[in-house]
Amino acid sequence: MTPLRRSLQLLPLAALLALGLVLRLAHARYGLPFVWNLDERTHFVNRAVQMFNGDFDPGYYQNPAAFTYLAYLWLRFLYGGLGFWFPLEWGTVPRQFSRDPTEIWLAARALAALLSLAGVAALYFVARRTFGRAVALVAAALLCFAFLPVAYGRIAVTDSGALAGSALAVGGAAAWVAHGRARWLVTAGAAVGIACAFKYTTGLLAVPVLAAALLRRGAVRRGLAAAAAGLALGALLFAAANPYLFVNFATAWRDLREQAAVAGLARKAGQAQPPPIYYLDSLRWGFGLVASGLAVAGAIALWRRDRRLALVVAVFPLLLFLWLSAQSRAFARWLLPAYPQLALLAGVGIVHSAGALAARVRALRRRGDAPMAVTGSRGAAVASSAPQLATVALTAIALLQPLTADLHQLRVAAAADTRELLREWLVRSGNVELRAVVEPAVPERWYVVDPTGVLPRWVGRCADEGGFGHPGWRVQLPGYERCARGKPAILARPDGALAATNYYRALYPRLIDQYRFYGYCTVITMSLVRDRAERASAAARAYYRRLDRESTVVRRFSPYRHGARPVPFHFDHSYLYYPRAYARPGPLIEVRRLRRCEQRRGLPIVRLPIAPDDRPAPGNEV
């Protein structure tokens, strides 16, 4: 094959990757300068920014550090080597991140998108080697446009990074079984380490690599040697990407055990489905209902054709599903490393089904009872192109649901988040520095008066009149003026110890009396928190019933389209906005004003609600 023809064959893949990049990067500014995904906000990019101060220990071991280090190198490349193209308004990466982190987050989200597409490209190249160009292209398209890979290709977290290693590991193992070249098995073993550098659970990929080494007749010894060499290389790659995991092994091991204990024993408040059902259901919307059915058909077809290949390709998704089903907590993204294998099986299923349909057309033509469209010279042309036409048609049917969901999520991301609308309303109305109860569905930056590094006109400095030792901060609004030591915030911040996961433990009906006593007359509820709390606690349900009775809704900010029913809380749908009911991101927000309550401003004596471990026992409240 000439180089020109080989290049032309890559055009469909290039088109897929270009469209996939557009899907992942369009409206990438959603939520900024605030970051709404909890894992995006706390685990990776902020630690990469800290590395610019010279300490390369991420100090976090519950997830591998490969994405953190790549984010650091990526930021240094963009704002160092290409700084003349990507200048930072505030000069340095740490200073920019503290003043206005928007550009840093955009760069990190772009990195996640590129890693996601690297998984698509890797799947294509390894699948083409063993299963043919048609299967490879179909599998790449399914992985490129499936809803969950697209959704997490838009978020600066580690999950997308595991796709390429997962695809290479299983694809390399399958190539060894099919062709017997040791370099493929070495590549597969090394890819296990690459995948593990992003997600610990991908260590299960060692099983198909070792299985492949044992399944090629007459070459078991050579296969085991190649697999051992590859896995050893993978271990070195993993260690290179996670050096401080070994330097601080005692701390890391403690963190990993704690994480495993929490994931395996403690179900999250608000989780309704048991993990096996949750993960099976996640395939319906995360991968696609038709695509999932075709993956089953592909596994059956591959089993009939070559049981060794079927075992190598299907064992990792099955093992990962069983492992995750044994945990108490469930998140769809934890199954994401198995999506390359599911896409490959679905590609086999589509091409096999298309071939069966084409064979049926040829059989009808030979018998002479075929429809007019498939008889004569035109029929011969149709019959010869039937496999390709059927493959395109089945692929389009399989992609209809994912692409519809991708475009819907894009439309949602283009709109302002309800939490942004709430913040703008508070500032415009002058209702700042209120003692308010804000449920923990916003990050700390949401409270900052200058999230883009520029102070609003109603904030300035004032003379030291209270013995501060330095100039104070002045707030001047219609009907409200003060000069105090501390920098103002949009609202008096709640106790930082409270998170959405344990917020329900702080709620009980008599808490509303404390709101009135301390001047917390504004209570802002958010469905992301309220729905979980009401599922988890009878005391929380009683608290919300009393709050509804004794307060008036001042303002409501809804993420739903007009006339749509609210979406029940879901650990993925409520954050990824898959349901069609969503018109904008964010929770349903209600700003409530307690009746018979004197609203106060400024820093409170007591921050309410009190952290669960500190609050007094509510007694027989319910």
Distance CA 611, CA 502 (A): 9
DSSP tag of 560:
B
pLDDT at 619 exceeding the cut of 50 = no
Q: Which residues pair with 481 in a beta bridge?
A: 476
Bond preceding residue 609 cis, omega within 30 of 0:
yes
The whole-number pLDDT of residue 14 equals 94
Q: Which sign, positive or negative, has the C-alpha torsion 362, 368, 372, 377? A: positive
The whole-number pLDDT of residue 618 equals 47
Other C-beta atoms closer than 10 Å to the C-beta of 301 total 19
DSSP tag of 500:
T
Strand order from edge to edge, sheet including 436-438: 436-438, 522-526, 589-594, 551-557
The whole-number pLDDT of residue 372 equals 47
Classify strands 472-477 and 459-462 as parallel, antiparallel or unpaired. Answer: antiparallel
Tell me what percent of the chain is helix, strand and coil, each rounded to the nearest 5.
Answer: 60, 5, 30
The whole-number pLDDT of residue 188 equals 97
The whole-number pLDDT of residue 286 equals 97
The whole-number pLDDT of residue 601 equals 87
Cβ-proximal residues to 346 (8 Å cutoff; 6+ apart), any chain: 138, 139, 142, 291, 292, 294, 295, 298, 398
pLDDT at 405 exceeding the cut of 90 = yes
pLDDT at 621 exceeding the cut of 50 = no
pLDDT at 252 exceeding the cut of 90 = no
The whole-number pLDDT of residue 9 equals 78
542-578 in b/e form (b: 16+ CB < 10 A) is bbeebbeebbeeebebbbbeeeeeebebbbbbbbbbb
Q: What is the pLDDT of residues 16-41, one digit of tens each?
A: 999 999 999 999 999 988 888 888 88
State the average pLDDT for the chain: 89
Q: What is the pLDDT of residues 184-197, one digit of tens each?
A: 999 999 999 999 99
Residue 5: which pLDDT band, with cuts at 50, 70 and 90? confident
Distance CA 547, CA 511 (A): 10
The whole-number pLDDT of residue 119 equals 97
The whole-number pLDDT of residue 428 equals 87
pLDDT at 92 exceeding the cut of 50 = yes
Residues 31 and 417 sit within 8 Å (Cβ to Cβ): yes
* End-to-end alpha carbon distance in the chain: 77
The whole-number pLDDT of residue 454 equals 86
DSSP per-residue codes, 186-205: HHHHHHHHHHHTT-GGGGGG
pLDDT at 552 exceeding the cut of 90 = yes
pLDDT at 375 exceeding the cut of 60 = no
Average pLDDT over residues 494-513: 83
Q: What are phi and psi of 387, to 5 degrees?
A: -60, -45
**SS3 for 283?**
helix
Distance CA 531, CA 441 (A): 12
454's enclosing H/E stretch is none
The whole-number pLDDT of residue 482 equals 83
pLDDT at 466 exceeding the cut of 70 = no
Q: What is the pLDDT of residues 272-318, one digit of tens each?
A: 788 999 999 999 999 999 999 999 999 999 999 999 999 999 999 99
What HEC string does 20-57 produce? Answer: HHHHHHCCCCCCCCCCCCHHHHHCCHHHHHHHHHCCCC
pLDDT at 369 exceeding the cut of 70 = no
Distance CA 41, CA 52 (A): 18
Structure-token pair, residue 367: 């018998």
Other C-beta atoms closer than 10 Å to the C-beta of 250 total 7
Distance CA 555, CA 524 (A): 10
pLDDT at 462 exceeding the cut of 90 = no
Distance CA 127, CA 134 (A): 9
The whole-number pLDDT of residue 605 equals 80
Structure-token pair, residue 551: 């307060």
Could you tell me which of 285, 271, 256, 274 has the C-alpha nearest to residue 325? 274
What HEC string does 372-395 produce? Answer: HHHCHHHHHHHHHHHHHHHHHHHH
Other C-beta atoms closer than 10 Å to the C-beta of 581 total 16
